Amino acid sequence: MISKKMLAALNKQIKEELYSSYLYLSMSAYADHQNLKGFAHWLRLQAAEENAHGLRIMDYLLSIGQPVTLEAIDKPPAQFGTPKAMFESVLKHEQKITAFIHKLYEQAVEEQDYRTQIMLQWFVTEQIEEEEQVQEILARIEAVDEKMSAILWIDKELKKRGGD
């Protein structure tokens, strides 16, 4: 059985993952409104992925007979500025989520909660991939110095992302 402290922390992480989904959905709507359909597509898929992350933790708790307590999700912003500013926000948010995951993992190690460590290892690896992917997109945007013709090319490339 996991500790009450770990249970509370995992329930909080579900909230963080679902907020991430909500944030990226808001970004997707903003990008779509800006007629950046590729950015909107990429962000919508990212929102779905983050929702799946929340469900993954929820399913873990349920599989070990623990209660899930869903907390209120904060309202995300609705304006995100330029594509560069938007992806700088995405990177900053992913880094924040990485820090939360690392803190959870450290807690699981400290408590000798081996099965939670195993479950969280997937998230540690996933966050490496998340940050790398966003850094790559941000580097492309920075390389073109936000010239609109190049942004439209990146937009077209992002639209090719399949459902991961």
The reported pLDDT for the residue numbered 156 is 76
Confidence grade of residue 149 (pLDDT, cut at 50, 70, 90): low
Residue 77 confidence (pLDDT) above 80: yes
Q: What is the pTM for the complete model shown?
A: 0.89
Residue 148 confidence (pLDDT) above 70: no
Domains of the chain plus CATH, in order, are 4-158 (1.20.1260.10)
Share of the chain above pLDDT 90, in %: 81
* Mean pLDDT value of segment 157-161: 77
The residue with greater pLDDT, 78 or 153, is: 78
The set of long-range contacts for 38-43, using a CB threshold of 8 Å and a minimum separation of 24, is 38/154, 38/155, 38/156, 38/157, 38/158, 38/159, 38/160, 39/83, 39/86, 39/154, 39/155, 39/158, 41/158, 41/159, 41/161, 42/137, 42/158, 42/159, 42/161
Confidence grade of residue 152 (pLDDT, cut at 50, 70, 90): confident
